[in-house]
Amino acid sequence: MTAAGDIAARLRALFPCPVAVAAVPVGAGGGDLWPAEAVAMRNAVPSRRAEFTAGRAAARLAMASLGLPPAAIPMRVDRSPDWPEAISGSITHTDALALAAVAPSARLAAIGIDAEPDEPLAEDLAELVLRPEEKDLCAAESDPARAARLFFVAKEAAYKCQFALTGELLDFDGLSISVSPEGAVKAICTRQTGPWDAGASLEGRFTRCGGHIVAAFCLPARA
């Protein structure tokens, strides 16, 4: 299995139910953007266009594994993917790799994934994105800056998951993250967010693989 395939398999294992996952190396081709997608990239620099293209290619590969025909996935005004009807999904990318996870919306109402290089988070960024209690949790770890990267990834994945349902633009203070050594991660709402009161939580999982940290959250259709 390739490194990208291994990371995709590890991401797939983070979900509590079957979810189609695909990985595409950035810059490795994967086809051209569809016209509805290319609109968002008209003024993009080449590196951004390559990341975007790889993400859409990964999404179409994941959709194909569900037996779905290829389709455009434009970018909405809020920059989130505009998924085809009856599909829930999420896309993430690093400089090197794009990942996509999709499932029928009859099964999952929302999906959120995020990936980052498994490297220390810069101190200024950690100061910006972490809440005081999260900083304390990271400080207690043997490698606080690397722990901060995990908290950042988990927060981004949880944000995407809730946004798919609420459309709320939360700041980094809107979710409080905790993690367990066994790979569980919890995002606690710090204020009323869509259907969730302050104190309500979303449950997810994370893994480290192939030089990446990957986190995933999902909500069943009944939620």
pLDDT of residue 29: 66
**Which of these, 17, 84, 85, lies nearest to 56 by C-alpha position?**
84
- Structural Rg of the chain based on CA atoms: 17
Cα–Cα distance, 6 to 25 (Å, whole number): 12
Q: Please give the full DSSP string across the chain, using - where no structure is assigned.
A: --HHHHHHHHHHTTSSS--EEEEEETTS---PPPHHHHGGGTT--HHHHHHHHHHHHHHHHHHHHTTPPP---PBPTTS-B-PPTTEEEEEEE-SSEEEEEEEETTTEEEEEEEEEESSPPPHHHHHHH--HHHHHHHHTSSSHHHHHHHHHHHHHHHHHHHHHHH-----GGGEEEEE-TTSEEEEEESS-BTTB-TT-EEEEEEEEETTEEEEEEEEETT-
Kindly report the pTM of this predicted structure.
0.95
pLDDT of residue 32: 87
pLDDT of residue 17: 92
- The number of C-alpha atoms within 13 Å of 113 and in the hemisphere containing its C-beta is 34
Domain coordinates in residue numbering, the chain: 3-113, 115-220
- Do the domains 3-113 and 115-220 sit in the same CATH topology, yes or no? yes
Chain position carrying tokens 């189609």: 20
Fold (CATH) for 3-113: Ribosomal Protein L22; Chain A (3.90.470)
Please list the pLDDT of the chain residue by residue as tens digits (223 residues): 678 889 999 999 999 999 999 999 998 866 789 999 999 999 999 999 999 999 999 999 999 999 999 999 999 999 999 999 999 999 999 999 999 999 999 999 999 999 999 999 999 999 999 999 999 999 999 999 999 999 999 999 999 999 999 999 999 999 999 999 899 999 999 999 999 999 999 999 999 999 999 999 999 997 4
The CATH superfamily assigned to 115-220 is 4'-phosphopantetheinyl transferase domain (3.90.470.20)
